[in-house]
Amino acid sequence: MNLHEYQGKEILNSFGVEIQRGIVAQTPEEAVEAAKKLTEETGTGWHVVKAQVHAGGRGKGGGVKLAKNLKEVEDIAGEIIGMNLVTPQTSKEGKKVNQVLITEDVYYPGDSEPEEYYMSVLLNRATGKNMIMYSTEGGMDIETVADETPHLIFNEEVDPTLGLMPFQARRIAFNLGLSGKAFKQMTKFVTALYKAYTESDSSLFEINPVLKTSDDKIIAVDAKVSLDDNALFRHKDYAAMRDVREENPVEVEAREAGLSYVDLDGNVGCMVNGAGLAMATMDLIKQAGGEPANFLDVGGTADAERVETAFNLILKDPSVKAILVNIFGGIVRCDRVAQGIVDAYKNMGNIEVPIIVRLQGTNADKAKELIDNSGLAVESAVEFQEAADKVHKVLS
């Protein structure tokens, strides 16, 4: 689950990470109130208006702007709220901005050289360890830095049994070229950031830029945070931060129905039980010359009702040209799933997309019979390869 910048910063702050302070606003009037309050609290004269959407690169798309007085706060907020923000990380249509974060200006006017660094904490799947990735080249696309100047990106791997050791935090501050007060502040920053990452059960914390001010404060100016969905049950307060307006509506509906669904770009919808079989099925579709339109695991207890819900979800995707159902009846009986498919098909009326169904396991024969005798445009397959061939046939 992804968070907004303001939510990520709230979590960071609760673990003692210094942040650029801000107040979220839904309207230009609220933006002005927020700016006044920030001036009282922080003494800031200028403010930054920042679009809150789940996408990076907002600055480049015109979603982050400096306001030098309250009139500008109001005007810029009015411009950004409601706009469709297009950034290098959104689709061509962009993302609708529902709210803005009004922040203090932490780049002091007249400050010649504020330093911007990059820092993220994530899991290195190859080594199975958390890793702090950081660079002196902050404020820009880390992908560009990786392409053009890869030697300016550093990694610090953390031993899970020891946690982040003080010498590691010092090495990071050293590699960033810091000394004196800034060095000390950076070690504190890294230590608090790592604690925030582990204790919130996150899968990513990316701070770009981390700012060093001319008076040697180290501040998180941005925050991109992804929490691990599987750990949300023990963070009810974070779970409540979910903003479904930012999420794919079909994925939201699937989650509410207890199905695991991920939208993909292809043309063959798949309905499968079990993540392993789902992955094998996606490979099968590729081999047959198609591309999976989604990942959908209806779970080990796929009953008729879940099957019908799943069908509805898949058919919402207009790029679906065929549906492959591949279900192993271990706990569930195949004939019940088959009945579910037939019922769903009938209930939904004019489905024009060809459906290929492979049911294996308990009562597979009965299931095949049910499908073949249903009089519907549903093809049954018994073998894996047979299913692939049939997908190939309907696509070509």
Question: Which segments of 50-97 does DSSP mark as H helices, in order?
Answer: 70-80
**Closest to 321 measured CA to CA, from 251, 393, 375, 380:** 393
Q: State which amino acid sits at residue 56.
A: G
CB-based contact 153:131 (threshold 8 Å): no
Closer of 63 and 269 to Mn ion (Cβ): 63
**Interaction of residue 106 with ligand GDP, rule CB under 6 A:** yes
Count of residues that interact with Mn ion, criterion CB under 5 A: 2
Instruction: Read off the amino acid at residue 169.
Output: A
Largest CA distance in the chain: 80
List CB contacts of 386: < 8 A, sequence separation 6 or more. 358
Show the tokens assigned to 331. 């706990």
Contact status: 386 vs ligand GDP (CB under 6 A): no
Cα–Cα distance for residue pair 192/223, rounded to 1 Å: 14
Q: Is 222 in the site for ligand GDP (CB under 6 A)?
A: yes
Alpha-carbon span 396 to 394, nearest angstrom: 6
Closest CA to 325 of 270, 278, 378: 270
Q: Which residues are catalytic?
A: 118, 206
Number of residues that bind ligand GDP (CB under 6 A): 17
Q: How far is the CB of 293 from ligand GDP (least distance, A)?
A: 30
Site for Mn ion in 155-214 (CB under 5 A): 208
Q: Smaller CB distance to ligand GDP: residue 50 or 333?
A: 50
CB 181 to ligand GDP: min, Å: 20
Peptide bond into 28 cis (omega under 30): no
Binding mask 126-165 for ligand GDP (x = CB under 6 A): -------------x--------------------------
105 is an interface residue for ligand GDP by CB under 6 A: yes
User: Which of helix, strand or coil describes residue 172?
Assistant: helix
Is position 209 an interface residue for ligand GDP (rule: CB under 6 A)? yes
Instruction: Verify binding: residue 306, ligand GDP, rule CB under 6 A.
Output: no
Phi, psi of 237 (to 5 degrees): -65, -35
3-state secondary structure (DSSP) of residue 270: strand
Binder to ligand GDP among 221, 259, 338, 387 (CB under 6 A)? Answer: 221
Angle between the N-to-C axes of helices 28-42 and 70-80, in degrees from 0 to 180, rounded to the nearest 10: 140
Q: CB of 122: closest distance to ligand GDP in angstroms?
A: 17
Please, what is the minimum distance in Å from the beta carbon of residue 47 to ligand GDP? 8
- Residue 105 binding result from ligand GDP, Mn ion, none, given CB thresholds of 5 to 8 Å by partner type: ligand GDP
CB neighbour burial string for 207-233, b if at least 16 within 10 angstroms, e if fewer: bbbbbbbeebebbbbbbbbbbeeeebe
Write down the least CB distance from residue 46 to ligand GDP, Å.
Answer: 7
Give the residue with the Cβ less far from ligand GDP, 139 or 354: 139
Residue (48 or 176) nearer to ligand GDP, CB: 48
* Binding positions for ligand GDP, 17-76, rule CB under 6 A: 20, 48, 50, 56-59, 64, 66
How far is 176 from 151, CA to CA, in rounded Å? 13
Q: Does 107 bind ligand GDP (CB under 6 A)?
A: yes
222 binds Mn ion (CB under 5 A): yes
Under the rule (CB under 5 A), what is the footprint of Mn ion?
208, 222
Site residues (vs ligand GDP, CB under 6 A): 20, 48, 50, 56-59, 64, 66, 105-107, 139, 208-209, 221-222
